[in-house]
Amino acid sequence: MLEMFTEPRGVAVVGASTSPEKLGYQVLHNIIQYGYEGAIYPINPTAPEILGFKAYASVLDCPDPVDLAVLLVPNKAVPGVIEQCGQRGLKGAVIITAGFREVGPAGKALEQQVVDIAKKYGMRLIGPNVLGIIDTVCKLNASFAAGMPNRGKIAFMSQSGALCTSILDMALGQGIGFSRFYSIGNKADINELDLVTAWAEDPETRAIMGYLEGITKGPDFIRVASEVTRHKPIIAIKSGTTSAGSKAVSSHTGSLAGSEAAYDAAFKQCGIIRAGSVQELFDFAQAFARQPLLEGPNLAVITNAGGPGIMASDAIEHAGLQLASLTSETKQYLQPLLPAAASVANPIDVLGDAPAERYALAIEAALKDPNVNALLLVLTPQTSTQIPETAEALGKLSKQYGKPVFGAMMGDVAIRKGVEVLRSYDVPNYQVPERAVAAIAAMWHQRMWLKRPKLAVEELPADRAKVREVFAKVRAEGRVTMGDTEAREVLEAYGIPLPKTGLAATADEAVTLAESIGYPVVMKIASPDILHKSDIGGIKLNISSASEVRDAFDLLVYRGKRHMPDATIWGCQIQQQVKGGREIIIGVNRDPQFGPLIMFGLGGIYVEALKDVTFRVAPIDRRAATEMLDEIRSYKLLRGVRGEKPSDRAAIVDTLLRISQLVTEFPEIVELDINPLIVFEEGRGVLGIDMRLALK
Amino acid sequence: MLEMFTEPRGVAVVGASTSPEKLGYQVLHNIIQYGYEGAIYPINPTAPEILGFKAYASVLDCPDPVDLAVLLVPNKAVPGVIEQCGQRGLKGAVIITAGFREVGPAGKALEQQVVDIAKKYGMRLIGPNVLGIIDTVCKLNASFAAGMPNRGKIAFMSQSGALCTSILDMALGQGIGFSRFYSIGNKADINELDLVTAWAEDPETRAIMGYLEGITKGPDFIRVASEVTRHKPIIAIKSGTTSAGSKAVSSHTGSLAGSEAAYDAAFKQCGIIRAGSVQELFDFAQAFARQPLLEGPNLAVITNAGGPGIMASDAIEHAGLQLASLTSETKQYLQPLLPAAASVANPIDVLGDAPAERYALAIEAALKDPNVNALLLVLTPQTSTQIPETAEALGKLSKQYGKPVFGAMMGDVAIRKGVEVLRSYDVPNYQVPERAVAAIAAMWHQRMWLKRPKLAVEELPADRAKVREVFAKVRAEGRVTMGDTEAREVLEAYGIPLPKTGLAATADEAVTLAESIGYPVVMKIASPDILHKSDIGGIKLNISSASEVRDAFDLLVYRGKRHMPDATIWGCQIQQQVKGGREIIIGVNRDPQFGPLIMFGLGGIYVEALKDVTFRVAPIDRRAATEMLDEIRSYKLLRGVRGEKPSDRAAIVDTLLRISQLVTEFPEIVELDINPLIVFEEGRGVLGIDMRLALK
């Protein structure tokens, strides 16, 4: 896939220039300098040749073979050039030129024009507004980057072209190689979804790395990425995570959601590993590209210094990994071979005067130990430390035993040679043990992801016709929001248990209803216009007699009218009063990128004061719903604490699945809160008490 | 202070060797090579001279001047040499030799012998078991380190000698300088407290940095460090923080405390900035050593790349700092000077083609802006980026305007020259913006610490005699633990409000008592041997009549006996039943390093399921107690949520202060739990319901 970029037989540089300070020169120079072996055609209306290559006035004049164009012409000229590329039968174009969507409406229109032309000819586009693309496999550097990265097994994409220059420079400094390196800019055509799809099948790529500012097709991306991560890790930085610019929202779920929660949920659901900085992106990518995954979470640490050994152990525990328990065979083998003061427990301390040979003994013993899944070598450059020799030993033994190994040679100048030796054996080195451990933890996370069964969304029975009918009625009345009474009907249609209830238009009807439900009852003002009833005193509890019903009816209607004189007031809702149980909140908010975002948490103070909630993008399966229950900080409360019986977790899971199905089948639902949903003891189910729902 | 190490007029190297592979040679070589200007005396029984310096058979033979000895002799020879040093009138010794406390009881005895001899002569010791000490001011490198750091303003101490080698190497690579660089090993004499005290007054030192595995004199250290941090920052790594080895404990507070909580509390109380890794230690130290503190939390970010600008903004928000709101003057000034596509909002985006001059315009405008407290320059190495020139502009302007500035030039090879230029202006650079922001946040933390009033512990009235009497009685009975009845007396003596209560030895007495207190009452089994009453069903609530009192009395006594046939049972405690309010837990656990560690949290599920608690080392003042209330995640609950009235926070603070005073005045209290303490609405106080106390 996307062979026009990975295996073009010829490249035309449209806007090639004879002036070395121009990008049109630099890009051509890069293509030539770094050894691209296909045909190269500078396109320039006046120059007869550039950098020794014959120039042509237009793409139309290019001889065969030519598959790809790189555009450096002014923005207004781009549509014409793309038209010519189409006519000439080119398959792809990299539009380096800026001045499109990023500069406003006129630019956006221009961009759309370009896309339309390319579509007409079946051409694929990268950009506009990019640094270019680099492919180390076909040795094509079609960019104005200041260098060419080494060939390697990481494919990288970035929405920021400028960041590419930093990443390339760091990669050169650290000897990290790439297979493909694409700046994707405005993503007018090819976006992260296309690249993830293509790179999934790319034999030259072991790990996919990206810098993203937004996802173009959220739901598709989730679907595809969660397949890809099952055989290739995706590591991403997503920036713009903080709340600064997030819009004001009215619902509980909405105010807690924000795009950060959506991205977090989506990435989690796809198995994408999220890096917190460019440094972490590199740290993780190095590990994934160079070492096999861990088969278990048990690490051996070998060190020539106690302090850094402790730091490594601390980091291992904090990261949720474990120090391996070495077998007694390993300990008995090592004991006589190491000095008396050395420690053969894990971390294995080979002491400050350890030569490479002593390190090697410990490394081999640890790698042989069946309890050890991975090895971290910690080294401080002491007087008698043999740094390159120790690196050599680690490298060789890692190849021999095939278990993942990592270096934490701590230093700078003194360890440089050692780091180079490690690199030659594909062993990544980290300047401090904490960074090594973070990378190992990311790999263990990936291993666990691979073990996870695929998403298996069930279809539960539901009365879709009823829901359509309610929505039609609401819309017919020119409304998009609905309160308790209507939302109830919708939830009931999807099998969500609700307390006995009814709507009374008059006080007399209210008494009849209350007596059929049985006292005590709860009464609420019933109005499509009043959404936050408790704020206006529109709810009365513990109503136990006919006269109390009458009093409450009059009071609630009075308060409703006082609050909003123009409100439509249907009367009062009479509801079975629920006793006991624990308050839960389940909500849905529609995220602009990913669609319906389901929130779960304990209700009341837990959501209000502690904001202890978790999110998933719908649809979810039983496993994901169960995980949500265990993800909140207060998860123990549902399992029963202080002698309380456990709550009916299965009923909550069931409710989450029904909500997931509802909002997936009815994408017009943009907001939904059940707050509270009361959960009773195990086996006794749940009841939705108060709810609201809003349509698009 | 400690001039024997910072300004020795002559140094004797005892155990100096003629063989280059021996430490005794390397240390002497370092002293000579790095330019120490005092007298140098190799001490060696056979060699006439070493490395061109006349050797002496013993310290006793050294001519004047000689203040300091560096010992490299075998461990058994150390006491003799120290004796000679004392006789010769030396003032200090650095004992590099290992084989003392770290190897077991015999080594520990040998170490004590050395300390005793030194004390006799008033000599001060560093070590044993160290890399040595380096002083860049007097150019003394009395260590076997592989290099000499640059002179700088950071004083560093490390309990791990091996780590010193890594730190030195990294510092050399990053051009970081030190004033003093001490490996303190076993800390037989001089420990972190001595050095913090000495370096506080050291004009050559602007920041103190340390790697610590334990604190020798916890309470003294807290007292001294919290003074020192008011004029010099202390940045420390404390390793060994995880729970692995922590002992089993019985009380609530004890099980939640652990040494990690104690260190966290202690460091917080001293204003010590804790670094999470060696990398972070360097990142922070560079910032403190090179830049002035921020006067406010408002940062300007100037960038030539959108993506990294967003990353910087994200990091700023996450760190609790703020993007400065630029004044309209600044924006109006910059608008016409920057290209149309540039952003003059903060982050100021000078665009990818920005030359140094354009950066300089933005830098100067931002530094002039009164709303800007500090500046972060983000740079990606793009084609036309003028890296050293931009660094030059930033450096010059930073000197001119005196506000703190930081670099996040992102890259490796391409930015190296720029980083060097920044360094020449004392501007630290960080490879990614996230690291820069973490360092800036640490500086802002320090600035806020400086604004904080000093600890002001009040003395509240207390009946100390009563407490002594209770403790004497308990001890007389051969016990160390006491339950509700006795603990009550102690707490009452310190003015902690308790519900009306009394002890009844018989059912008749119980009825009389209950009627004088008023129904309903709570009854609890009263026994010094039964500490966790509720576990055995030893508490009955809601007792409302004489007959219920009699039933409960018999039942509780029966259960107590069944649970522990040998228990001393005094009868039942009768207590006013408390209605309403919110459960709080206040506890104290004695930490082996720091003494009494006070815990505060909401009781019940909050402590059990959420472990939502916070700690301080006693004594605390009103301010610290108030901060504890606001530090727990569920702090909002005390301020009133969902229409509830706020809790009586002042009464909780008062209780914390009384507990702090009690455990400070009675160090024999090793454990204390008030669980629950009920807090009522604002103005209605607190009541301690259940409590236990244990003596040493």
CA distance A169 to chain B (A): 5
**pLDDT tens digits, residue range A49-106?**
999 999 999 999 999 999 999 999 999 999 999 999 999 999 999 999 999 988 889 9
The answer to the question of residue B285 being in a domain is: no
Q: Is A136 on the interface with B (CB under 8 A)?
A: no
CA distance A665 to chain B (A): 34
Long-range CB contact pairs, A197-202, < 8 A, 24+: A197/A1, A197/A224, A197/A228, A198/A1, A198/A2, A199/A155, A199/A228, A199/A232, A200/A224, A200/A227, A200/A228, A200/A231, A200/A232, A201/A1, A202/A6, A202/A155
pLDDT of residue A254: 52
A324 and A405 share one domain: yes
**pLDDT tens digits, residue range B508-527?**
999 999 999 989 999 999 98
The answer to whether residue B646 scores a pLDDT higher than 80 is: yes
Percent of residues, chain B, with pLDDT higher than 70: 97
Give the bridge partners for A301, in sequence order. Answer: A376
The answer to whether residue A561 scores a pLDDT higher than 50 is: yes
Q: Summarize the confidence of residues A536-555 as an average pLDDT.
A: 91
Please tell me which residue of chain B has the smallest CA distance to A319. Answer: B242
Q: If pLDDT is split at 50, 70 and 90, which confidence band does B14 have?
A: very high
Please tell me which residue of chain B has the smallest CA distance to A640. Answer: B609
The answer to whether residue B488 scores a pLDDT higher than 50 is: yes
Looking at the partner chain, which of B163, B242, B642 has a beta carbon nearest the beta carbon of A318? B242
The answer to whether residue B221 scores a pLDDT higher than 80 is: yes
Q: Summarize the confidence of residues B181-197 as an average pLDDT.
A: 95
Q: If pLDDT is split at 50, 70 and 90, which confidence band does A603 have?
A: confident
CA distance B661 to chain A (A): 32
**pLDDT tens digits, residue range B449-475?**
999 888 889 999 999 999 999 999 999
Pairing of strands B207-212, A177-183: unpaired
| B391 membership: H or E segment, kind and range | helix B387-401
Q: Is A631 exposed, middle or buried (0-12, 13-18, 19+ CB in 10 A)?
A: middle
CA distance B459 to chain A (A): 35
B355 CB neighbours in chain A (<8 A) are none
Are B11 and B113 in contact, with CB atoms under 8 Å apart? no
B399 and B486 share one domain: no
Q: Summarize the confidence of residues A629-658 as an average pLDDT.
A: 90
Segments forming the whole domain that contains residue B325: 292-451
Using the beta-carbon criterion (under 8 Å), do A381 and B431 form an inter-chain contact? no
A304 and A195 share one domain: no
A13 and A153 share one domain: yes
Which of these three, A451, A467, A482, is where a domain ends? A451
The answer to whether residue B249 scores a pLDDT higher than 60 is: no
Which of these three, B528, B556, B576, is where a domain ends? B576
- 3-state SS of A73-132? CCHHHHHHHHHHHHHCCCCEEEECCCCCHHHCHHHHHHHHHHHHHHHHHCCEEECCCCCE
Q: Of B197, B40, B314, B497, whose CA–CA distance to A240 is shortest? A: B314
Are B588 and B671 in contact, with CB atoms under 8 Å apart? yes
- For residue B329, give Cα distances in angstroms to B342, B359, B370, B403: 17, 18, 10, 19
Q: Is A279 on the interface with B (CB under 8 A)?
A: yes
- Dmax of chain A from CA atoms? 100
| Structural domain count, chain A | 3
Using the beta-carbon criterion (under 8 Å), do A166 and B383 form an inter-chain contact? no
B636 and B559 share one domain: no
Which of these three, A451, A470, A490, is where a domain ends? A451
Where do we find the tokens 């100067």? B364
B523 and B624 share one domain: no
Q: Summarize the confidence of residues A212-216 as an average pLDDT.
A: 86
A63 and A181 share one domain: yes
The DSSP annotation for B189-207 comes to S--HHHHHHHHHT-TT-SE
The answer to the question of residue B133 being in a domain is: yes
Cα separation, A548 vs A550, whole angstroms: 5
CA distance B640 to chain A (A): 10
The answer to the question of residue A369 being in a domain is: yes
- CATH number of the domain that residue B684 is part of: 3.30.470.20
**pLDDT tens digits, residue range B411-429?**
999 999 999 999 999 999 9
Q: If pLDDT is split at 50, 70 and 90, which confidence band does B395 have?
A: very high
Q: Summarize the confidence of residues B98-103 as an average pLDDT.
A: 88
pLDDT of residue B254: 52
pTM for this one? 0.89
The answer to the question of residue A683 being in a domain is: no
Hey, CA dihedral for A24, A26, A32, A34, is it positive or negative?
Answer: negative
pLDDT of residue A545: 92
Structure tokens at B361: 């315009």
- Dmax of chain B from CA atoms? 100
Using the beta-carbon criterion (under 8 Å), do A604 and B162 form an inter-chain contact? no
| B451 membership: H or E segment, kind and range | helix B433-451
Structure tokens at B258: 């652990």
The answer to the question of residue A219 being in a domain is: no
The answer to the question of residue B34 being in a domain is: yes
Using the beta-carbon criterion (under 8 Å), do B636 and A608 form an inter-chain contact? yes
The answer to whether residue B246 scores a pLDDT higher than 50 is: no
B307 and B441 share one domain: yes
A113 and A34 share one domain: yes
The number of helix segments (H) and strand segments (E) in chain B equals 23, 30
Amino acid at A522: V
Please tell me which residue of chain B has the smallest CA distance to A23. Answer: B383
Looking at the partner chain, which of A144, A162, A277 has a beta carbon nearest the beta carbon of B304? A162
Interface test with A, best of B148, B166, B238, B387 (most A CBs within 10 A): B166
- CATH number of the domain that residue A154 is part of: 3.40.50.720
Say which residues have a Cβ less than 8 Å from residue A674's Cβ, sequence separation at least 6.
A491, A496, A584, A585, A586, A587, A655, A659, A688, A689, A690, A691
**pLDDT tens digits, residue range A304-363?**
998 899 899 999 999 999 999 999 999 999 999 999 888 888 999 999 889 999 999 999
A380 and A505 share one domain: no
Tell whether omega for the bond before A499 is within 30 degrees of 0, i.e. cis. Answer: no
Q: Is B608 on the interface with A (CB under 8 A)?
A: yes
Using the beta-carbon criterion (under 8 Å), do A410 and B144 form an inter-chain contact? no
Q: Is A166 on the interface with B (CB under 8 A)?
A: yes
The answer to the question of residue B541 being in a domain is: yes
Percent of residues, chain A, with pLDDT higher than 70: 97
pLDDT of residue B253: 52
Q: Summarize the confidence of residues B652-658 as an average pLDDT.
A: 97
Using the beta-carbon criterion (under 8 Å), do B163 and A307 form an inter-chain contact? yes
Q: Is B342 on the interface with A (CB under 8 A)?
A: no
pLDDT of residue A242: 52
CA distance A241 to chain B (A): 6
Tell me the average pLDDT of chain B: 92
The answer to whether residue B244 scores a pLDDT higher than 50 is: no
Q: Of B662, B500, A322, A582, whose CA–CA distance to A313 is shortest? A: A322
B571 and B588 share one domain: no
Give the bridge partners for A349, in sequence order. Answer: A303, A343
Using the beta-carbon criterion (under 8 Å), do B160 and A306 form an inter-chain contact? yes
A439 CB neighbours in chain B (<8 A) are none
Please tell me which residue of chain A has the smallest CA distance to B160. Answer: A307
Q: If pLDDT is split at 50, 70 and 90, which confidence band does A154 have?
A: very high
Q: Tell me the helix, strand and coil percentages in chain B, rounded to 5.
A: 40, 20, 35
Pairing of strands A92-95, A68-71: parallel
Q: If pLDDT is split at 50, 70 and 90, which confidence band does A244 have?
A: very low
- CATH number of the domain that residue A508 is part of: 3.30.1490.20
Q: Is A264 on the interface with B (CB under 8 A)?
A: no
B636 CB neighbours in chain A (<8 A) are 605, 608-610
Say which residues have a Cβ less than 8 Å from residue A245's Cβ, sequence separation at least 6.
none
The answer to whether residue A253 scores a pLDDT higher than 60 is: no
The answer to the question of residue A438 being in a domain is: yes
B640 and B684 share one domain: yes
The answer to whether residue B252 scores a pLDDT higher than 60 is: no
